[in-house]
Amino acid sequence: MELDGLHHISAITGDARLNLAFYTGVLGLRLTAKTVNQDDPSVYHLFYGDERARPGADLTFFEYPNAVPGRPGAGMVHTIVSRVGSASALDFWAARLAGNDVAVERTAQSVRFADPEGLKHELVVPRSTDAPLIAEHPEIPAEHRLQGFEGVRAYSAYPEGSGIVLERLMGATAPGPSDAWIGGEEAWELRTERRGGWIAFDPAPAEPGRQSAGTVHHIAWSTRDEELQGWIDAVTDAGLPNSGYVDRHYFHSLYFREPGGILYELATAEPGFLVDGLSLDELGTRIILPPFLESQRAAAEAKLTPLSDPRASWTTPR
């Protein structure tokens, strides 16, 4: 069994409209799904990604309106690292973000910034040759568009235990010191012939974290339906408390908390957001619900923030 790097990353927002404007309007991602938190259908679950809503680029948000600002601490991911195609793309993003009043740190190898609620991001040129996962946007040239996840940076409450689970249970490898730009020996890579990604651990701050607006809730690693039961057995045999099989309709999942406190999900590539018969053009244009929540549609929609289609106003060719 192998994991294809990151499947999706789920975070929290206190303002869905602000969140939508930033991730689609500034970063140029596609709103691929408007749905609900299946464990709390009164809460939005927004998905942003590439044109085809493929694993490896899905950045998702639960909206808790007016949530107080959060703070990453031990047991939490603190930075999302995404790919761009070249050093000139880094220059483009440094200028575009600054032009949108976003504070930017430009280093020799990256662009660092935060979203309006403080969630940290970093853009890098990847070492891998994985296929780019790109969304179209009229203001962003094709060669400069974001290309999916590269990795995440996290704070572990128990780095040794985090590494043991990654290496011995999940099959991750640790890069050597020459790869210090992604965390050196504290960075763990999960890769197959299809795709890969990594998690790097930084020393945790003394102040406890607070999971709220602008923080990551969990990260999901990508697997396949035929291997999910094997992962459930392996995680259970390792003595880690876990959710067992969870049917999310659009994918199937296993949840567990690794020894350093970070919530992991293993999510399948199948079946995807077209399972109910939507066309690619319809992705993100209306609220979708899994069949087991369809009876609650009216109640759920009454509580959700109205959001317009961010592509409805496009007047130039993509």
CATH number at residue 224: 3.10.180.10
Residue 293 lies in a domain: yes
Residue 283 domain-assigned (yes or no): yes
Tell me what pLDDT residue 177 has: 52
Residue 74 falls within a domain, yes or no?
A: yes
Q: For the chain, what is the domain count? A: 1
Omega prior to 271 cis, within 30 of 0? yes
Show the domain range for 43.
6-303
202: in domain? yes
Asked whether residue 1 is domain-assigned, the answer is no
pLDDT digits (tens, 9 = 90+) for 9-32: 999 999 999 999 999 999 999 999
What angle is formed at CA 160 by the lines to CA 155 and CA 165, rounded to 5 degrees? 90
The distance of Cα 180 from the centroid of its chain, to the nearest Å, equals 23
pLDDT at 79 (0 to 100): 97
Task: Tell me the per-residue pLDDT of 115-157, one tens digit each, with 9 for 90 and over.
Answer: 999 999 999 999 889 999 999 999 999 999 999 999 999 999 9
Decide if pLDDT at 286 tops 60: yes
Strands (E), 14-109: 30-37, 40-49, 58-63, 76-83, 105-106
Nearest to 161 by CA among 77, 233, 257: 257
Instruction: State mean pLDDT over 177-193.
Output: 67
pLDDT of residue 315: 64
Q: What is the chain's mean pLDDT, rounded?
A: 94
Percent of the chain with pLDDT over 90: 92
pLDDT digits (tens, 9 = 90+) for 217-230: 999 999 999 999 99
Mean pLDDT of 186-214: 93
In a domain, 118, yes or no: yes
- Asked whether the beta carbons of 16 and 46 are under 8 A apart, the reply is yes
- pLDDT at 184 (0 to 100): 42
Is residue 164 domain-resident?
A: yes
**Strands 110-114, 105-106: pairing kind:** antiparallel
